[in-house]
Structures are given as C-alpha cells and as structure tokens.
Structure 1
Amino acid sequence: MKFAVIVFPGSNCDVDMYHAAKDELGEDAEYVWHDETSLDGYDAILLPGGFSFGDYLRTGAIARFSPVMSEVIKAAKAGKPVLGVCNGFQVLLEAGLLPGAMRRNESLKFICRPVGLKVENNNTMFSSAYEQGEVIQIPVAHGEGNYYCDEETMASLKQNNQIVFTYHGTNPNGSIEDIAGIVNEQGNVLGMMPHPERAVDTLLGGADGLKLFKSIVKQWRESHAVKA
C-alpha cells in the first residue's frame, strides 16, 4: 500500500505521518508537495498537522486552494482513504470534504497533552481495529480545535453514524458533543484533532494510535483481495 503524505508550507507533523506509515506499518510512503497535480499513484492520502501557510485568514483556508487539494478531492470521490489530522482536519473542513467548522479553543489557549478518546464507531476503515466503546489515549496539540456544526448537521452526523471519536473524561477545547473525529457519509474521509501518528510506539508514551493506521491497511488489503 502506498501513502501520500501531503506537505504544505508550515506543515510540521508530516515526518510523524511518514514514520507511522513507513516505519511502523512497513508500507510505502512518500512526501507530496502542495503544488503536485496528480495523486493517481497513491492508495491513501494523509494530511498532517501544523500551521499550513501560517494559519493566515483561518486555519486551513489557504491550504484548501493548493493545487494538490483538487487531487485530494478527486481521491476522496474515488473512495480512497483520506485522513486529515489537526490542521489536516481543518483543511478538510475548508475544502468541504467534511461538514462543520473549527473555532478557537474555549480557553483561547494552545493545548498540548494526552487526552482520552472513546471509539464511538468502530465500523469504519479507520477504526475497525478498535473495539466499540474502547477508550484510548491520544495526544492533542492545537489552538483551534473547537469543532462546531449547526443542529441539522449534527442530526445528520448522528443519523449516519459519522462520529467516530469523542473526548472521554475531559473535553480539552469545547468541541460540540465532545466530538474529536468524524467521517464523511461515504466513510472514506476522516478528520480528527488528536494526533494518532504521535501515538504509534510505546517509547513515545503509547501506541493507541497505531490501530488507526492498521485499520486503513487492513481495509485496503481486504478490498483489493476481493477485486483480485
């Protein structure tokens, strides 16, 4: 399986994403610059955290117009797995690949620490390696992670079982309904504020995030085995 790790000016978690896919999973991975015009050779797309284009205007607002995003949208429509973490989640929201918007943390302060997450839906290509209701520890590192949507969108998220992760114990940013991660209706685009790529090795404090990446590979191999 071949992962594309998208790199915007200001990305700073691209190395962690690459390490998770290449070193921990043993899969193929490449850095892809923001001005790339084709992602046809990749099986999955990873949008890392950081401060793309300095977070000017709004988080993710400028990165959304990078040439590569047309290809990310194309890949998403084709059913390829697309994972956006932290700033990557913000970019996916700005691009319209996920519903809702991101606001500043309620505390108006940058937060960087491990948090508890509850697996609300383990029936996705990103969460199948977890148990339903499992509580995991994943670090957060953001200043604008306060997810918000209107009542109609929330009703749709719940009806379609699109809420994959919620904060457990403490909500670090004020996110509505404690939401930490959601998928699109098709189920192949996940946006989440916590950083699973920073939790793939016990030497780093925990490996609860590794199952997310293993889920992606498992689903990809199963789907391609069926086609073969």
Structure 2
Amino acid sequence: MSSCPSTVTDNWTLRVLVVDDEPLAVERMQLLLARAEGVTLVGTAADGEAALRIAEAVNPDVLLLDIAMPGMDGIEVARALAATAVDPAVIFVTAFDNFAVAAFDVAAVDYLMKPVDPERLSRALARAREVIAKGYVERPQPSSHYVEEFWVPDHSGLIRIAVRDVDRITAERDYMRLHVGKRSWLIYRTIAKLEEELDPELFIRVHRSAILRRDTIVGLVRDGMGHWAARLADGTEQRIGRSHIGDIKKLAGRA
C-alpha cells in the first residue's frame, strides 16, 4: 500500500493514476478529477503493462482502473501490484457489471460504472482515503466457504448486501431476486448454484423457486387442500413445495 502522510488528516492530497485504453474515457476522468478536491493526477496509462511501469515510478495512492483492456486486463494489474511494494487503493471503472465478484476478490475499494457520476466518484475517493488512512487495504479473509455478501448493480455502480440481511430469495427465469426489507435486487445465478453457496444453517430452500432465511419463518400453515406454506415475519406467506416439506418439518422439530 502506498504510504500516506505521517500525520493523517481528512484533506491530504490523493495522488491518482488513471488507467484506461479509451482516450475519451481518460479525458473525461481527467476533467472529473480536476474538479475534485484534494486530488492530484500523477499519470495516465493506456494498457496494463504501462500501468505497472508508471505505478512503480510514481507510487500513486489510488488507481482508477479500467477492467476490459487488451493484453493485461485490470484484474491482472491489481493482482500484480498487490504482490509488490506499490499497492495502491484500487477503484475499478468499467462499462460492465459482470466483473464485480472478481473485482472484490482483489480487494477493490470501489467499483464505478461508466459514465462515471461526479458524486459517485467523490464517494469512491473518500472511501479510498479512509482505507489509506488505516495504512493498508484489508484483504478479504472468508470465514467459511459459504458466500457472505453480494455486490449488486444499483444505478451508477454496485452496492454491497450482506447475506445475513437477505430475507428471502425468489427465482425469476435466469435471475434470482434478493429481498431485503421492502427493497429487492436481481442477480444472475441459478437457484441450484445459489443454494450451494448459502450457509444451510442460515437459509433453507422451501420451493423450487424460493429460499428463505430460517429466522424469518415464524410459523407453518396448511390450507384445506393440504398445501403447506411458511408464514414469515413480515406477515406474508411462502408456498412450500412437496419435495421440501420434509426439510421444513425438521426445522419445526416434527420430522
């Protein structure tokens, strides 16, 4: 991680390197940075190899890094820098949202979608400043092989959703909808794959198209046709598929 001033304040100048193979994208980022407070541009690079050379020469605090580039892509650049003494805070800037998992596997500070919104960039730089002030980038250390968070598209970027905050998950064709309170987000994944990734101590599949967080289930009800449903804490009910009734009865200690 590049070093920050010995006396850290909220207004020390961030030294930023921009890496993008599109000249217009570099120009736009230069304009955005020129309007940002507490930031200085220390260089630009048009490909991954050049980014490594320039980063080693100027030792930036922050890398605004495109992902889809010819030759060495942004993910490879971030991994390469993490193995060196030059280890800046990385903010990915991309036109694609399907790199989110790989981006956060390399401990990216943030992930911005093109065209970059000035306010969104400002928040990302503020987050980078906080990380640098700690003196290091915290590398993810999963406590188990189960997924612990989701990064989902939201307007001009991505937001983090802790798995423990998800109330239920429902299938919509090739997508899964994550329900968190009154809001919901779509992710591209099959329900079978998602069921493998979720901790069974926290979640239970109750239907071919539905997974529930166990502690949201407050009761079980059966209608006149013999169909079972799970009554949830928010007052709604979720139909239970025939093949999952046994698991639900175990949950209730009635197996």
TM-score (norm 1): 0.39
1 or 2 for the larger relative contact order (CA 8 Å, sep ≥6)?
1
Give the strand-richer structure, 1 or 2.
2
TM-score (norm 2): 0.35
